[in-house]
Amino acid sequence: MPKAQETAVYTHGHHESVLRSHTWRTAANSAAYLLGSLKPHMRILDIGCGPGTITADLAELVPDGHVTGVDAAPGVLEQARAAASARGLTNVDFAVADVHALDHPDDTFCVVHAHQVLQHVGDPVQALREMHRVTKPGGLIAVRDADYATMTWYPAVPGLDGWLDLYERVARANGGEPDAGRRLKAWARAAGLRDVTATATAWTFATPEERAWWSGLWADRTLASSYAERATQGGHATSEQLQAVSEAWREWGRQEDGWFAVLHGEILCRKEG
């Protein structure tokens, strides 16, 4: 029987404006719901690790264990390796992988973690089955994902509603589900996971520095990333419309009362046995 394979296209790509966001992520700001469960000896698989900042943090938290970071994009793994090396970490390695068909035996890892991954895959239920398969009995599957429809901001700058509608159309055309956060528990149950704890947390951007950073990376991403290419090539927006969305982001970033919240759903599942 042939292995399942990825059918979705990663919406963002790895433009600098995307990595600007991804390299900001830490275990503390993106995996806090998991950290209290970690033990120094654990072996962890970090799926969709990107530039490896969360991966490296996890490696520091399991000094007697080991962390393997995997991603579908070989190029970004070079950045992850460099980041881990710069931090002097010796208990971490990286490899190319497809979450739908992982190259690991059953019952290998104490923890299998994925942050903002399932929104981008073609079959999140199959992905969770694979994550469950490679987790040891008694181990944990930990997943956190954004939910775009619940993102909220103030003030209501004209153009940002259009950004959200456009982004969701592009992401779904690419085969993903941008409102993944609310679906994690249902996907886990469909995958056969039963001991599931569901929670939610948010990133908030409100200081002048946070507003400038968040609005700037989205303004740039709207014009220069793979998302921009897929928006225009897929017939979802013209270059002029993308320019207007980019300016709307910069306008919001200039608002002294500006506030933006990014809600994430989270699930922590213990494998029976």
Q: pLDDT of the chain along its 273 residues, tens only?
A: 346 666 788 888 888 989 999 999 999 999 999 999 999 999 999 999 999 999 999 999 999 999 999 999 999 999 999 999 999 999 999 999 999 999 999 999 999 999 999 999 999 999 999 999 999 999 999 999 999 999 999 999 989 999 999 999 999 999 999 999 999 999 999 999 999 999 999 999 999 999 999 999 999 999 999 999 999 999 999 999 999 999 999 999 999 999 999 999 999 999 997
**Which residues does residue 95 pair with via DSSP β-bridges, in sequence order?**
70
C-alpha–C-alpha distance, residues 1 and 20, integer Å = 40
Please report the pLDDT score of residue 6 as a whole number: 67
Q: What is the DSSP letter of 3?
A: P
Q: Could you tell me if 116 and 146 are in contact, meaning their C-beta atoms sit under 8 angstroms apart?
A: yes
With beta carbons less than 8 A apart as the criterion, state whether 199 and 32 touch.
no
Q: Where are the beta strands (DSSP E) in the chain?
A: 43-47, 66-71, 92-96, 109-115, 135-146, 152-154, 196-205, 259-270
Instruction: Kindly state which CATH superfamily the domain 16-271 is placed in.
Output: Vaccinia Virus protein VP39 (3.40.50.150)
User: Residue 137: is the preceding peptide bond cis (ω within 30°)?
Assistant: no
Q: What are phi and psi of 255, to 5 degrees?
A: -80, 125
Beta pairing partners, 101:
98
Do the Cβ atoms of 137 and 131 come closer than 8 Å?
no
| 153: β partners | 260
Q: Which residues contact 99 (CB under 8 A, 6 or more apart)?
A: 6, 47, 48, 70, 72, 114, 117, 121, 127, 130, 131
Handedness of CA 212, 215, 218, 224 (dihedral sign): negative
Q: What is the pTM of this model?
A: 0.95
Q: How many CA atoms lie within 13 A of 220 on its CB side?
A: 13
